[in-house]
Chain A
Amino acid sequence: MRFSALEILKQGLTGNKGWTQHWRDPAPKSNYDVIIIGGGGHGLATAYYLAKNHGITNVAVLEKGYIGSGNVGRNTTIVRANYGLPGNSEFYSHSLKLWESLEQDLNYNVMHSQRGIINLFHSDGQRDAFVRRGNAMRNQGDDAELLSRDDLRKMVPYLNFDNARFPVRGGLMQRRGGTARHDAVVWGLARGADQRGVDIIQNCEVTGIDIENGVVKGVQTTRGPITAKKVGIVVAGRSSQVAAMAGMRLPIESHILQAFVTEGIKPAIDHVISFGMGHFYISQSDKGGLVFGGDLDFYASYAQRGNLPMAEHVMEAGMALMPAIGKAKVLRSWGGIMDMTPDGSPIIDKTHINGLYLDAGWCYGGFKAVPGSGYSFAHLMATDTHHEPAAKFRLDRFKTGRSLMDEEGTGSQHNLH
C-alpha cells in the first residue's frame, strides 16, 4: 500500500479498516545471497540499500527480537552532521543528506524534523574550538552558524545565561540538525526493504556462524540453519558476542548510556540543545515529552538500565542549564548498550573471513548514522570496495595507529570515550 493524503482520506471515511500490515512475516528459506544479522536501524538500512542501489534482493534480515526492540528504540533520536575530523565529517554529512530525502524515498513519515541543533559554549577556549568545528563543517559543505549570546537570548530565552560557573556565551548551530521518530525509521526501512523482496525474519536468533577454510557458508539460528554467500554482522551493542561466533575478538567494550523522558507538556523547547559543560542534551518530542540524556555510566554493562549517580548528574546539569524544566516529572528512563571503540568512532569493514562483513562500534552516535551506515555497508557488501564516505572506518586502525578518529581528543583508549 502506498501512503498518501488521498489514502488517509479514503481510509478515514471507511472506518480505517483497509490498512494492511507494513511488511510480510516470512519463514526463513534455507538459502540466501546475503544474510544480515541484526534487524535494527543499521541492518534494515543495509538490506534496503542492497536492494535499492545494488539490485540484491535475495536477502534475509535476522532479528532475535522484534523490529524496534533494540538500541534503535533506546536513544534520544538526534540527527546531525556536526563532526570535525576527516572520516567522520564526510560520513555524517552523507548520512544527513540521506535523511533529508528519506521520507520521500521510503514513502513513509519518519517525522524527520530539522528544528536545528545548538551546542552551547561557556568560555573563550570553547568558543575557539566551536569556531574551528563550524569551519570544518562548512568546508564539508554542511551548514554551521555561530550564535552570540544576544542571538540566543532571543531564540532560547529560558536558558540560565548567568549561571555562575558556566555562563552561556554563545552557541554553534546547525539548522539542518534535528530529530526523527525512531520507531518510524525502522518501520519505514523494514517496509521499504520488504517491498523490494527482502525477508525480514523476527524472533530468529543467530547462534553460530558457519565457516569453512576461511570462507563464510551461512549461519545457525533458533529457526534452523541458513546458508548464504555473504553475511553481515550489524548488531551494535552485542557485536562482541556475534563476532565471537566467528572466532573474532573486537576492539569493543559495551557500555550503558541512559536517557530520560518527562510527562508531556506544552511546546517549550523548539530545538535540540546541548550543554557543553554538563554533558546534557535535550529536545521535546512531538508528544510533548522532554527527551534528554547525558554521558555514559562509564563501566562495561549490558543491563539496559543505568545507575543513579549518572541519573542524578544529568538532572543536575539540566537544572543548571534550564531551571524551568524542574517542574516537569520524569516518566521513564532507559539505557542503550553502546559498542564503545577505543577512539569513539565506528567500524564498517571486511573481516579476515571471506564473505563476512562487520558494521559495529557505533558508540553513542548510531541513530543519526542509520541511513549512511546502511548505504555504505551495502556498498561494501555488494562491491567488496569501501564506499568513499565510510572508507576510514577500518577495523585495523587501532593496530596500525593510522586514521584514528578521536573526535573528543581524549586519547584512543577504552575508558576515555
Chain B
Amino acid sequence: MRLTCPICGERDRREFYYQGAATILDRPDPEAGIETWDDYLHNRDNPAGETRDLWYHDAGCSSWIVVTRNTVTHEVLGSELAKDVKGRKS
C-alpha cells in the first residue's frame, strides 16, 4: 500500500504514522458530556469498504493528512491536508 500525500505525492506507507479514523478531527465541546466524549474517543463506524483516516507524514513533509481508502482492497482513493478538512461540515 502506497499513500498519496497532497504535498509529496505517492509515497511508501512506511513514511506515515497511522492515527486512526478521521472523525478524531471533529473534537466535541469540552462540556459536551460523557456520552459524546465516550463516543468520540472509543466508538468507531469501522467500515468494511471506504473509510477516511488520519495519517502523519512522519518521514516526509510532517503534514497531517486525511486519506480516503478502501479497507477491503487497500485501494487508496485520495487524500487532503487535515487542516483543510478540520471544521468543515461534510
Contacts and interface: CB of A to CB of B under 8 A. Distances in A.
Interface string B10-24: 001110001111000
Nearest to B2: A307
B19 A251 contact: no
Contacts of B19: 415
A415 B44 contact: no
A415 B46 contact: no
A300 B51 contact: yes
B84 interface: no
A307 to B, nearest CB: 5
Interface in B44-70: 44-48, 51, 53
B43 interface: yes
Q: Which of B14, B44, B72, B73 has the most CB of A within 10 A?
A: B44
A309 B21 contact: no
Contacts of B71: 254, 300-303
B74 interface: yes
Contacts of B29: none
Contacts of A345: none
B3 to A, nearest CB: 9
Do most interface residues of chain A lie in helix, strand or loop, or is the interface mixed? mixed
A244 B38 CA distance: 17
Contacts of A279: none
Contacts of A19: none
Contacts of B42: 251, 342, 398-399, 414
Contacts of A298: 18
A251 B45 CA distance: 9
A252 interface: yes
A2 to B, nearest CB: 42
B46 A299 contact: no
B8 interface: no
A88 interface: no
A138 interface: no
Given A299-B53, A303-B71, A399 B34 contact: yes
Interface in B27-45: 34-35, 38-39, 41-45
Contacts of B45: 240, 244, 249
Nearest to A239: B46
Contact of B46 (A252, A309, A342, A398): A252
A253 interface: yes
B72 A414 contact: no
Given A253-B21, A303-B73, A307-B1, 9 more contacts: A240-B45, A252-B46, A303-B72, A303-B74, A398-B38, A413-B41, A414-B20, A415-B19, A415-B20
Interface of A: 238, 240-241, 244, 249-254, 298-303, 307, 309, 342, 398-399, 413-415
